[in-house]
Chain A
Amino acid sequence: MTLPDLSDYFVPTQESELIDLLGRFGERAMIVAGGTFVHGLEARGLLSEVEALIDIGRLGLGGISQDAAGVTLGATTTLAELRRADFVQTDPAFGALQDALDYPPVQIRNVGTVGGCLAASAPLYDVPAALFALDGTACVRGAGGARDIPLNEFFVGLFENALRTDEFIAAVTLPKPAARTASAFLKLETNANDLAIINVAVRITLGENGRCADSRVVIGGGVGECYVRAGSAEAALEGGKAGGELFATAAAAVAHDIEPVTDQRGSEAYRRHMAIVYTRRALERALGRMVTGGTNG
């Protein structure tokens, strides 16, 4: 036994049952979707107080749907299912997701879930950075009813998020992107199966004049307690002519927004430098996608 206080493993089949369990066990409950993050914590001895594991795999929370407002990703949609979605494969606006979903190995993609990777609130993960840059919103439910939490407000610290103990993520929504939008994601890693040294997700929308009308620059890896939305870089992009010169200026600005750490994966100075390099490359990658065309105009 690696969870000394564990009393039971629950597999609720009704949401009301899940909410009751969350109410009963509070801080001592741990929701399991794909389970990959739970094991990461368990292996590090960080789950010693967990009394109840609650498997949400049989609540019917999976599936992807699209309508005029955008796309809805059920919480237990696996990363493999999301990667196969048409809009991920073909729409330049969702390019960041396509890129980010390429990094996890197949064994993680097959079980890791959309809701789980957000709830983990580990800024070293790749897919949440992309969802953040696409203005994702977590749709949560709990004893007090349903509410929507924009990812901008969802991540509040390392392994900490805005969920109350009685709440769970039911779905993630992504708004329909504006015309002339493209996004991209890049990750710097030590090997093909490691957490990010730094990762970057960007999204740009161009006006008719080819200037940047809107942008998101999100940086993860060891650059802060949470993903960092690089406001300085976004401000530098605003209204500028999309291209190498503007992107270099905007990328340099991320240095003002991040507070990199030094650890075994890289030093503070290395991370700061590579965040700049990878931001510029991600912006160029997004622009390249827009130039080569796609389905969103």
Chain B
Amino acid sequence: MKKLVQLNVNGDTHELAVNPDETLLGVLRNHLDLIGPKRGCDSGGCGCCTVHVDGKAVYSCMMYAVSAQDKNVVTIEGLGQNNDQGNGNGRELDPLQQAFIDAGAVQCGYCTCGVIMAAKELLDTVKNPDEDEIRHAIAGNLCRCTGYQKIVDAIKLAAAAV
């Protein structure tokens, strides 16, 4: 039996019929074509599916879509969209996204969207976090390429920019 759910995603409201055991990740990727959140371990161990629900970072692979009913979901695609500077495309990158580019903090890119969403909650709640706070904030996100140093550098860069 499908359930009708109303999801607020990146500022848009969607009414969807979903299986009651479908995860938020599955609905974002398969119903809404938001493929920023990635399917990695699918069991809350790697963090590449991280999105925000009501401003808090969560593993979207571990949340049923129906439990996100009426909550505000933000994926990497929803970052920066209120930063319209009149440049014609209607959006600018979030300072975190720009910092990841500037610091060269992306290799294969599979973890990047999740790391940025975890770091986003940190920068939303802590001003000028130190390196320990940064590393602690992204402890739930695995990167198999970078060794994390450039990711940490990027988050420091973004913290200085906001």
Contact = CB atoms under 8 A, between A and B. Distances in A.
B43 A111 contact: no
A32 B24 CA distance: 15
Interface in A105-137: 105-108, 110-111
B47 interface: yes
Contacts of B67: 11, 32, 35, 55, 57
Interface residues of B, number: 34
A283 to B, nearest CB: 25
Interface in B50-89: 50, 53, 56-59, 61-64, 66-67, 69
A6 B21 contact: yes
A58 B39 CA distance: 28
Nearest to B140: A105
B36 to A, nearest CB: 15
B87 to A, nearest CB: 33
Nearest to B61: A39
A107 B121 CA distance: 10
A1 B139 contact: no
Interface in A1-15: 1-3, 6-9, 11
A235 interface: no
A42 interface: yes
B129 interface: no
A111 B21 contact: no
A192 interface: yes
B34 interface: no
Given A9-B20, A35-B62, A43 B140 contact: no
B153 interface: no
B118 interface: yes
Contact of A1 (B19, B45, B118, B137): B19
A217 interface: no
B21 A2 contact: yes
Given A36-B44, A105-B47, A110-B57, A1 B62 contact: no
A55 to B, nearest CB: 5
A103 to B, nearest CB: 9
Contacts of B61: 39
Contacts of B56: 80, 106, 110-111
A110 to B, nearest CB: 4
B1 A8 contact: yes
A297 interface: no
A8 B139 CA distance: 35
Nearest to B62: A39
B42 interface: yes
A107 B66 contact: no
Contacts of B31: none
A35 B63 contact: yes
A193 B20 CA distance: 28
Contacts of A193: 45-47, 139-140, 142
B3 interface: yes
Contact of B139 (A2, A7, A105): A105
Contacts of B136: 102
B59 A106 contact: no
A31 interface: no
Nearest to A192: B139
Given A106-B137, A108-B59, A7 B1 contact: yes
Interface of B: 1, 3, 19-21, 23, 42-47, 50, 53, 56-59, 61-64, 66-67, 69, 118, 121-122, 136-137, 139-142
14 contacts: A6-B21, A7-B1, A8-B1, A9-B20, A42-B21, A53-B20, A55-B67, A57-B67, A106-B56, A106-B140, A107-B50, A108-B140, A111-B58, A111-B59
Interface of A: 1-3, 6-9, 11, 32, 35-36, 39-40, 42-43, 53, 55, 57, 80, 102, 104-108, 110-111, 192-194
Given A6-B21, A110-B58, 12 more contacts: A6-B19, A9-B64, A32-B67, A36-B59, A39-B62, A53-B20, A80-B56, A106-B56, A106-B137, A107-B50, A111-B58, A192-B139
